[in-house]
Amino acid sequence: MEKIYEDMLDKTPFFVIKLTPQHLQQIEELQVEVYEALADQSILQPLSTDEFEYILNGNGMMIGAYVEDELIAFRALLNPPFDEEHLGYDCGIAENDFQRVLYQEISNVSPKYRGYGLQKTLATVIMNAIDLEKYDYVCSTVKPYNIPSLKDKFSQNLVIKGLKIKYVDKLRYIFYKDLQQELSPVFTDKQVISMGDTAAQQQLLKQGFLGTRMFEENNDWFVVYEK
């Protein structure tokens, strides 16, 4: 069990490893613990056993944080199957490059260990572990007003590339990052839109704007769009 990261949670040491199929029971038990503790369970789309096994058997990567022998957090990247819902279509990626796309999948932190920035730490660890010889893009979907997940994506410099119905009937932001892009783009135009104004955001996205950050003001959240 090779440790790929070690640090402290206040005075408690923890370590991170790459997870394998033998960790499945711990992963699923933690997912149940996290899901049951949510005030709004609609913000989390739990993964099925089949979906976890698909990732753990080589179609992506999962890492887990441990305190001694207790799994306290995990984070996943998925190498998705090709289908009509593939986020590559939404992000303007050529079909023959779809095999070079990873999805940021589920991220769970035990309620007992919140407040230590573990989600952000695991994001850094897993993104640094991506094989840039194999992958060029990371994509993800987030529900509007799921503020912790939106902050998580923006903190990693993912940008909003779309806002549309996914998974049959769920409105989702589509986030995107080009892993090979070394320089930050230079923007010359900026618009600020309430997160609740779906139509206005969709119009800007059609015009080539990207959602680059967000902020809170007067009890609402606003997204900054730039191009």
pLDDT digits (tens, 9 = 90+) for 110-163: 999 999 999 999 999 999 999 999 999 999 999 999 998 899 999 999 999 999
Task: Give the per-residue pLDDT at 54.
Answer: 94
Task: Give the per-residue pLDDT at 221.
Answer: 97
Task: Give the per-residue pLDDT at 127.
Answer: 93
Give the model confidence (pLDDT) of 95-106 as tens digits.
999 999 999 988
Structure-model confidence comparison of residues 76 and 38, the more confident one: 76
Residue 72 has pLDDT above 90, yes or no: yes
Place of tokens 């590559």: 88
Q: Which CATH class for the 3-182 domain?
A: alpha beta
- The CA distance from 119 to 125, in Å, is 10
- % the chain with pLDDT above 70: 100
Task: Give the per-residue pLDDT at 34.
Answer: 92
Residue 91 has pLDDT above 80, yes or no: yes
Q: Return the number of other C-beta atoms located less than 10 Å from residue 17's C-beta.
A: 17
- Is 33 in contact with 42 (CB distance < 8 Å)? no
Task: Give the per-residue pLDDT at 39.
Answer: 79
Task: Give the per-residue pLDDT at 61.
Answer: 94
Residue 79 has pLDDT above 80, yes or no: yes
Task: Give the per-residue pLDDT at 110.
Answer: 95
Segments making up each domain of the chain, as ranges: 3-182, 184-227
DSSP single-letter state for residue 13: E
- DSSP character string of 75-142: EEEE-PPP-TT-HHHHHT--GGGGGGEEEEEEEEE-GGGTTS-HHHHHHHHHHHTS-TTT--EEEEEE
Residue 190 has pLDDT above 90, yes or no: yes
Write phi, then psi, for 53 (nearest 5 degrees).
-65, -35
Task: Give the per-residue pLDDT at 59.
Answer: 92
Band of pLDDT at residue 184, cut at 50, 70 and 90: confident
Residue 42 has pLDDT above 90, yes or no: no
Token digits of residue 161: 């590339």
Beta bridge partners of 65: 16, 73
Task: Give the per-residue pLDDT at 37.
Answer: 87
Residue 227 has pLDDT above 90, yes or no: yes
- Is 156 in contact with 142 (CB distance < 8 Å)? no
Element (H, E) at 180: none
Structure-model confidence comparison of residues 26 and 84, the more confident one: 26
Give the model confidence (pLDDT) of 4-40 as tens digits.
999 999 899 999 999 999 999 999 999 999 988 887 7
